[in-house]
Every structure is written in C-alpha cells, then in structure tokens.
Amino acid sequence: MRAAPARRLVNARKRIPLRMLWMLPAGLALLAGLDAGMVLLGLPAPVTTERLPEVHGMLLAIGFVGTLISLERATAYARPIGFVTPALLGIGGVLLIVTPVPLTVAKIVLAAGAASFVLLYIPLWQRQYDAALLTQLLAAGLALCGAVIWIGQDEMTRIIPWLIGFLVLTIAAERVELARITMGPQAGIRLLIHAWAVAGALAVGLVFPDAGAVLLGVALLSLTGWLIVHDVARRTIRATGVTRYMAACILAGYVWLAVAALVLLLGYPSTQPAYDAVIHAVFLGYTFSMIMAHATTILPAVLHIPLPYRPAFWVPIALLQVALVVRVWIGDAFQLPAAWQIGGVLGVVALLLFVLTAVTSAVLGVPRTVASESGAAPAGAPSAASDSRHRAPHETQEIARNTGTESDDAPANRAKSAETSDPR
C-alpha cells in the first residue's frame, strides 16, 4: 500500500534536473542584472559591456522575476504548453546580454514571452473565476504593455511605471491568495479595484507624467495601507521560526512600497535621487523582500526540491534592509554619492548571499530536528500531528512545505491555498 507514494517521490526526484533547467536563464538574468547594477554605480564589475546598463531593469524585472513567477504559474497550470512562457521570458532575458544579437530582437522575444504570460493566465482564471487571479492577469498585461513600449525606445524612464504595476499587483495578488480568510470575502474585489486604479494611473501617465505619478502614488499608498491592515503577517511576526521570518520580510516589503508611493506623490521622479529611490524601493525593497519571504514555500513546490528554512536566512534579508536604508534614506535623500554606492554594493551582496544561503540549505536538506518533528516523536513527547492542533493552519502548511512532506500535487492546487490560511 505504501509503494505508490514511494514511486511518486522517486519520479519527482527524476524530474529535478529538468525543472532546474528552467531556473538557469532566470539565474543568469539575475547575475547579469546585478553586474549591470555595479556598472551603473560606476564601480568595477566582473563583466562590462556597453549594452548591460541599458537592460539592467528588464533583466531583473522580467528576465528574472517574470520568469520565476511564470514558472510557478506554469506549474500550477500543469500542462506542457504552459512552460512556453518561462521559456520565452528566460530566452529573452539571455538574449538581452548576448551582444551579437540585435537588441531589438531580444526585446521582441521578451515581448512575446510577456504576451504568452497573459495567455497563460486565461485558462487559470477559467479554472477558478477569482478576482485575485484576474488581478494577476491584468498585471501580466501591464508587463506586456511595458515590453511593447520598450521595443520602440531605449529609455527606461517611461517603462519603469509599467514594471512597477506588474510586480506590485502580482505579488499583492499572491498575498491575497495566501491570506484570503484574514482579509475577508471581498478581498479579491478590493484588490481588483486597486489594480484598475494602478492601470488607470499608468494610462494617465502616458500623456501627463506628473499627474500619472501622483495618481500611481495614491493607488499604491492605498493598496499598501489595506494590505498592512489585513495581512496576517501583522500577527505572525510574533511567532517563531519560518513563520516569523516570512512575516518580517513581508512587512519590510510593505514599508518600502509605502516609501516609493510617498515619493511618487511629489510628482514624476525626473531627478536622479527621486528616480533611484522609487525604483529601488519597489524592485529591491518590496519585490526581493517578498521573494525572500516566499522562497522556502514556492520554490520547493515548483522544483520539487526541499528548501528548508534556517536561521541563516535572516542575514541576507537584514543586510538588504541596511543596504536600502543607506542607499535611499542617506544616499538619495541627502544626495551623497558615496552612500549611494555603498548601499548599492550592500544590496548586491545581500542578494548573492541569499542565493548562496538558499542553495546551501537545499544541498544540506531538512535539518534533523525539523525532520524528527515531522515524523515520529520520541516517547513521552507530543507528536507532530497532535502539535499541529495547537498551530494556526498556515503554520501547519508552512511546516509541510519546508520539511518536504507536502503532497506532489500542491503546485496545481496552489491557487486554492487560501483555504488553509490563518483565520482571525
């Protein structure tokens, strides 16, 4: 009777190398984007090409984050055609850094990947008519708009707002999916209203940049306030272990999103300090804090590789916050180039350290203490099953994901994970 689970585990392990191939283009885009960041800071970088600084933003926002998110969505779709999206986005990101390939060709491939991303969300939404999924569909549409606009011009200043809309709304929708019960039955509709407000602000910004920036700031500030008030992270920050770690990352992300929104309220960020503060508060402070928060839950579900939480994960997230404070609060606010560069370098180190920590944790596997908690308990000690009765449902879910005991079909059912969120 236990042969089937064992066979399923063996088959999952056999798929690991193939699934890891999808991560290679995303990883390359991340490394190239960080390298480009060093070039833009005016500091020595391992690779220096004329094209790297031009594609810095797209490498990180679409080449890395877009590929990562689309891979997770393709896994949820659970059909081979769904993986066309991460393939196109990954290839597009790689082509951005291959100098012999015309930049226009790379832009077109990236736009094709963004279009495929929009199409990928349609069957997912048809499977579950849900406002949060519709928000993600709209967010993918914003990414497509940004990619198409970029084909016809080299400047990123008009593209960045569309990328902000894509990342902010996609991640916010993920949070609503995971905490729907705590946010109430109307959470999806409220999120969708904010999403259309963001889209409207971006449309206004095409004609009136200042007015569009202010409207975008208002929409983002309203969204941030609503998320902070209703997200379960406000209470789970008092927990321990991975639950507290995730909550800290999530709340830090909200703080940086609020910072970006406040800067946008001053009008279009045409000056270098304001522009730098907005893009790095969103792309580093909000986006990467959220990635660090959910890496130990999403990556195992997508790759079928356990990525156990360890206290060492606190080091890169803490360093990232220090880097942003130095860069944004000191470097940008007081226009100090040295602080701007120091903060930039610390940010690069934080992200590389996070990757190293994640890889090391995956290689080491589940810690013995955690493994024993998920298995048979010692005599006289409460079992994991009995202990789970005293845990919030979301904590039980996180333990299952981080110990590798979550079922193999979890990715396909991930859109319904809100059912196990922490109730009030």
- By C-alpha distance, which of 273, 275, 269, 237 is closest to 255? 237
**Per-residue pLDDT tens for 59-74?**
999 999 999 999 999 9
6-15 LR contacts (CB < 8 Å, sep 24+):
8/408, 9/408, 12/304, 12/408, 13/304, 15/304
CA angle 238/242/245 to nearest 5° reads 60
Distance separating alpha carbons of residues 397 and 399, to the nearest angstrom: 5
Distance separating alpha carbons of residues 372 and 114, to the nearest angstrom: 44
SS percent in the chain: helix, strand, coil, step 5? 80, 0, 20
Number of neighbours of residue 262 by Cβ within 10 angstroms: 16
Number of neighbours of residue 150 by Cβ within 10 angstroms: 24
Number of neighbours of residue 163 by Cβ within 10 angstroms: 27
Integer angstrom CA distances of residue 234 from 42, 166, 222, 315: 39, 25, 17, 21
Q: Is 253 helix (H, G, I), strand (E, B) or coil?
A: helix
Give the model's pLDDT for residue 119. 97
Q: What is the mean pLDDT of the chain?
A: 85
Retrieve residue 80's tokens.
């081979």
- Nearby residues of 8 by Cβ (< 8 Å), 6 or more positions away: 408
- By C-alpha distance, which of 406, 403, 411 is closest to 241? 403
Give the model's pLDDT for residue 241. 95
Residue 281 has pLDDT above 50, yes or no: yes
Distance separating alpha carbons of residues 252 and 368, to the nearest angstrom: 30
- What radius of gyration, in Å, describes the C-alpha atoms of the chain? 21
Residue 261 has pLDDT above 70, yes or no: yes
Integer angstrom CA distances of residue 258 from 40, 157, 224, 281: 25, 20, 6, 9
Give the model's pLDDT for residue 370. 55
Comparing 93 with 13, the larger pLDDT belongs to 93
Distance separating alpha carbons of residues 25 and 81, to the nearest angstrom: 18
- By C-alpha distance, which of 146, 253, 152 is closest to 198? 146
Give the model's pLDDT for residue 407. 41
**Per-residue pLDDT tens for 218-241?**
999 999 999 999 999 999 999 999
Residue 299 has pLDDT above 60, yes or no: yes
